[in-house]
């Protein structure tokens, strides 16, 4: 289905954010349509992780609007935001499993907090989600006993236990060997196809991005360079995008007076 036939699940309009006195995102616009995998790509310091924090409602923007599933999260109160988050799942870069709980308890936590299911049903549901991520039988282990890839998959199981409509991944392949990274890519594709989830992936891993993306948004120094399909991004004539895709160091040079100003700025 063409993206224009779908409803937007996420709409970001003119998003401006600051960290202290420094402006990080300079009026960002992004649209993610229902049922697609959107990759947010960019180099280190491009603002992609910052954008993710704002999409998750973890920080308040300076200006602009962020609409998630039809609700402008910049205008929601804490309780409304909490309700909306039941439709969102997040797999953080390091997994962010609660270290004091077993894997099974971690996966059950959202059910325990948001539903009135009995303990046995919650255990069964958690086991099912762990099976989806190929971690069946690991529910009694503590997070410290798992490998990096297993932690990430357990985090995915926890994120999908409430069957969210939206799923966010922060650097899913970072620090994983190619085989485990490929398994995680397959899992992301499965979540879109089998569970009809809308998925946003923040990454700088090109191979993984090109494999799973429906569309790619390229961020650079707080600005969107372009949004498009894999082919459109590959064919882009933008020098910064080509530097990123071909792993070339940026050839941009500062003017002498600008360089001097940067060095002597107090």
Where does residue 77 rank: exposed (0-12), middle (13-18), buried (19+ CB within 10 A)? exposed
Closest separation in Å from C-beta 109 to other proteins: 7
- Pick 102 or 227: Cβ nearer other proteins: 102
- Pick 15 or 91: Cβ nearer other proteins: 91
Rg (alpha carbons) of the chain, rounded to whole number: 20
- Pick 52 or 213: Cβ nearer other proteins: 52
Can you tell me the distance from the alpha carbon of 163 to that of 107, in angstroms, rounded to the nearest whole number? Answer: 12
Contacts with other proteins, residue ranges (CB under 8 A): 56-58, 78-79, 82-83, 85-86, 88, 90, 92-94, 96-99, 109-110, 113-114, 155, 158
Nearest to 190 by CA among 207, 167, 173, 171: 167
Closest separation in Å from C-beta 78 to other proteins: 8
Closest separation in Å from C-beta 20 to other proteins: 13
Can you tell me the distance from the alpha carbon of 19 to that of 39, in angstroms, rounded to the nearest whole number? Answer: 24
Closest separation in Å from C-beta 98 to other proteins: 6
CB atoms inside a 10 Å sphere around CB 47: 25
- Pick 188 or 233: Cβ nearer other proteins: 188
Where does residue 100 rank: exposed (0-12), middle (13-18), buried (19+ CB within 10 A)? exposed
């Amino acid at each position: 289905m063409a993206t224009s036939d779908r409803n937007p699940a996420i709409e970001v309009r003119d998003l401006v954010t600051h960290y202290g006195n420094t402006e990080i995102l300079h009026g960002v616009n992004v649209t993610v349509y229902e049922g697609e995998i959107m990759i947010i790509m960019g180099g280190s310091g491009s603002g992609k992780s910052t954008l993710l924090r704002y999409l998750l409602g973890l920080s308040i923007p300076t200006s602009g609007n962020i609409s998630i599933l039809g609700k402008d999260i910049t205008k929601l109160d804490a309780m409304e935001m909490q309700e909306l988050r039941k439709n969102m799942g997040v797999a953080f870069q390091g997994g962010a499993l609660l270290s004091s709980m077993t894997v099974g308890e971690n996966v059950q936590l959202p059910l325990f907090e948001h539903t009135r299911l009995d303990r046995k049903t919650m255990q069964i549901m958690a086991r099912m989600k762990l099976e989806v991520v190929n971690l069946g039988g690991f529910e009694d282990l503590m997070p410290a006993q798992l490998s990096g890839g297993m932690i990430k998959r357990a985090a995915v199981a926890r994120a999908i236990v409430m069957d969210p409509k939206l799923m966010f991944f922060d650097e899913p392949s970072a620090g994983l060997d190619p085989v485990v990274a490929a398994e995680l890519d397959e899992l992301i594709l499965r979540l879109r196809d089998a569970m009809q989830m809308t998925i946003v992936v923040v990454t700088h891993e090109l191979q993984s991005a090109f494999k799973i993306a429906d569309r790619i948004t390229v961020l650079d120094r707080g600005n969107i360079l372009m949004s498009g399909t894999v082919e459109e991004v590959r064919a882009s004539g933008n020098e910064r995008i080509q530097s990123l895709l071909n792993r070339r160091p940026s050839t941009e040079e500062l003017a002498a007076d600008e360089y001097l100003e940067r060095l002597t700025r107090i």
